[in-house]
């Protein structure tokens, strides 16, 4: 969240739960799971990330969060990437 500019380092060092409460109240994240420490960013009505550009590329690629850096090994369907063509 610091990399994205959604939190300052001092806010992040104050505890994830407190930071999550702030981010939830401002609508910058959709949810926070304290057990894993993972944030879910807000999404568009179509379910896309708000940082996904019209060309379907990440607009904050260099500053993307750790979970995005680990995609597709982490996500709702580990190993699946919609950008890859299905080989049969």
Q: What is the pLDDT of residue 24?
A: 92
Instruction: Judge whether 1 lies within some domain.
Output: no
Instruction: Judge whether 81 lies within some domain.
Output: no
Q: How many domains does the chain have?
A: 1
Instruction: Judge whether 83 lies within some domain.
Output: no
Instruction: Output the six-digit token pair for 6.
Output: 């959604």
Q: What is the DSSP letter of 76?
A: S
Instruction: Judge whether 13 lies within some domain.
Output: yes
Containing structural domain, residue 51: 9-69
User: pLDDT grade, residue 85 (50/70/90)?
Assistant: low
User: pLDDT grade, residue 88 (50/70/90)?
Assistant: very low
**pLDDT tens per residue across span 12-69:** 788 888 888 989 999 888 888 888 888 888 888 888 888 888 888 899 999 988 878 8
pTM for the whole structure:
0.67
Residues 6 or more apart whose CB falls under 8 angstroms from that of 15 comprise none
Q: What is the pLDDT of residue 49?
A: 86
Instruction: Judge whether 86 lies within some domain.
Output: no
């Amino acid at each position: 969240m610091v990399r994205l500019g959604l939190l300052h380092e001092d806010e992040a060092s104050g505890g994830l739960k407190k930071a999550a409460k702030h981010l939830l109240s401002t609508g910058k994240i959709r949810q926070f799971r304290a057990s894993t420490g993972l944030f879910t960013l807000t999404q568009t009505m179509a379910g896309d990330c708000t940082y996904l550009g019209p060309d379907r590329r990440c607009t904050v690629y260099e500053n993307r969060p750790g979970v995005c850096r680990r995609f597709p090994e982490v996500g709702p369907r580990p190993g699946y990437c919609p950008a890859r063509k299905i080989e049969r």
